[in-house]
Amino acid sequence: MTRPDASGPARDGSARAAVDAAFRSDWGQIVATLIRVTGDWDLAEEATQDAFAQAIARWPVDGVPRKPGAWLTATARNRAIDRLRRDKVGAAKLQELAREPHQEESAEPPDLLRLMFTCCHPALALDAQVALTLRTLAGLSVPEIARAFLVSEAALAKRLVRAKSKIQHAGIPYRVPPAHLLPERTPAVLAVLYLLFSEGYAATAGDELVRRPLLAEAIRLARLLCALMPDEPEASGLLALMLLTDSRSSARIADGVVVPLEEQDRSRWDAVAIAEGVGILDAALRRGRPGPYQVQAAIAACHATAATAADTDWRQIATLYGTLRELNPSAVVALNQAVAVGMAYGPAAGLALVDRISGLTGYPLLSATRADLLRRLGRRSEAADAYREAISRATTEPERRYLAGRLAEVS
Amino acid sequence: MKYVLLICADEAVGAEHAQDGCGGWDTEMAARGVLYGGAGLRPPADATTIRVRDGETLLTDGPFAETREQMGGFCLIDCADLDEAIEIASKHPAATYGSIEVRPLIP
């Protein structure tokens, strides 16, 4: 198991790197396994944490084990057994732990998938689902999650305690739901992963515009979900959407300001991520069961595969937004459709759609879009009014500056 | 696991459905072996609330809390887990016009 030949300070660094890599790849798996065998979420997390602490202490001395994940799982399991031995009510659970190796050979669904569905159980509030997913599946610490979602550590800790207590006391089953519940439960899992991604991609508040760790975790968990649910095209659609959107990350911000899609330096887009996203999306679409994530990924693919902004296939995008509206009717989707139609068939066609949107009064992008279409139609005074309204509703300084520039053009 | 289903509805709506019964739901659940009893309740106007403070019994006419949603009945069920409890509750006709709160019992 150990590498007795490893020696010197370099070994310390590589052992540390191995612990970090194992943390990223194995944390959720180990917690998931221990929850299944002990039924105790806190014990599972603590034992897993102990195992990583031991790895940090031992790997630099003993060397990195050949199978770090197996070493960590065994160590975590032993820690759990130690803790249960000290505890009288643990006796029954101990027997289960002893039986455990036989269960691994059965055709049970993977522990990680159970953990994902349980964390995203619809009887838990959405914020609890998110917090629990990040803590239990991704191994993020309470301060890290609290920072990511701008809540106090105390509030977040309370949210986690409440969620775990409800899982235990309300009888939320630790399992992948049966087939008849899957269609209604899978969207919750996808929604939580997409929320993590969106929060990482365009932080709703705070100093940083992009939160890399959240983005990376969301993509990693989506990859995992695709591997666990290969027959679910919407899981693939979501992963493709994330990859295609994230491919623009490095071109999206310049000097701390968001660069609009059409002005981005496309040579800085991640070609590997785009190719992978398009490939995953194509495979998903071939299953013939389209859904909102696949359609959104298809729209992202239209943008990502256009060599220049002028090459963008706006007709295709307008059609896709029409499909998305059928699947998922919302005023924001209608607005995006109007923008695409305005690009594909001219500003008058776009404006006709914008003027039919209801329920978005006060939404900053509505007046900005109207203003832009009116400007392109040469209706300068109406455009100026719309720009003024958009400026009064804009939420960030860069947006306000951009709109003020446009206003100066038309007045 | 044991749960109580608290069947709640807006008082006026609840009164409208007071004589509906539960459309075979109780028969089905009893046959499934998950129903351990329950009852419909007279309206909150017929309720009396009792508190004992410092040895003194205080009576209030009406329900403990004046809310629009009032409990109109309850059922005790025993089933595998929350998913089954949700499935059972969602089949109750009152779920279509009121709401059903699923509360686990203290074991």
CATH number at residue B59: 3.30.70.1060
- Distance (Å, rounded) from C-alpha A163 to C-alpha A121? 10
- Distance (Å, rounded) from C-alpha A93 to C-alpha A358? 57
The alpha carbon dihedral of A84, A88, A89, A91 has a sign of positive
Report if residue A60 sits inside a domain: yes
Tell me which of A89, A118, A169 to substitute to probe the interface with B (most B C-beta atoms closer than 10 Å). Answer: A169
Place of tokens 């749960």: B3
Q: What is the domain extent for residue A21?
A: 7-89
- Distance (Å, rounded) from C-alpha A236 to C-alpha A56? 35
Distance from CA of A88 to the nearest CA of B (A): 18
Distance from CA of B53 to the nearest CA of A (A): 31
pTM here is 0.82
Alpha-carbon separation of residue A317 from A63, A245, A290 (angstroms):
54, 15, 15
Count of domains forming chain B: 1
Interface of A with B in 1-30 (CB under 8 A): none
Count of domains forming chain A: 1
State whether A171 and B86 contact (CB < 8 Å). no
Could you please report the per-residue DSSP string of A358-388? -S-TT-HHHHHHHHHHHHHTT-HHHHHHHHH
Report the 10 Å Cβ neighbour count for B44: 18
A83 close to A43: Cβ distance less than 8 angstroms? yes
The tens place of each residue's pLDDT in chain A, 411 residues long, gives: 333 344 444 456 788 999 999 998 899 999 999 999 888 999 999 999 999 999 999 999 999 999 999 999 999 999 998 888 887 666 666 666 666 554 454 456 688 889 999 999 999 999 999 999 999 998 888 998 888 888 899 999 999 999 999 999 999 999 999 988 888 899 999 999 998 898 888 765 555 656 777 888 899 999 999 998 999 999 999 999 999 999 998 888 787 777 888 899 999 999 999 999 999 999 999 999 999 999 999 999 999 999 999 999 999 999 999 999 999 888 999 999 999 999 999 999 999 999 999 888 878 789 999 999 999 999 999 999 999 999 998 877 777 888 898 899 888
State whether B85 and A177 contact (CB < 8 Å). no
Percent helix, strand, coil in chain B, to 5, is: 30, 40, 30
State whether B85 and A171 contact (CB < 8 Å). yes
Tokens of B18: 């007071």
**A-chain residues near B1 (CB < 8 A):** 171
Q: What is the domain extent for residue B41?
A: 2-104
Give the tens place of pLDDT for each residue, B51-78: 999 999 998 888 877 778 889 999 999 9
**A-chain residues near B85 (CB < 8 A):** 171
Report if residue A56 sits inside a domain: yes
CATH of the domain at A49: 1.10.1740
- Distance (Å, rounded) from C-alpha B26 to C-alpha B22? 7
Alpha-carbon separation of residue B106 from A29, B2, B85, B103 (angstroms):
32, 8, 16, 9
Tokens of A91: 């006796």
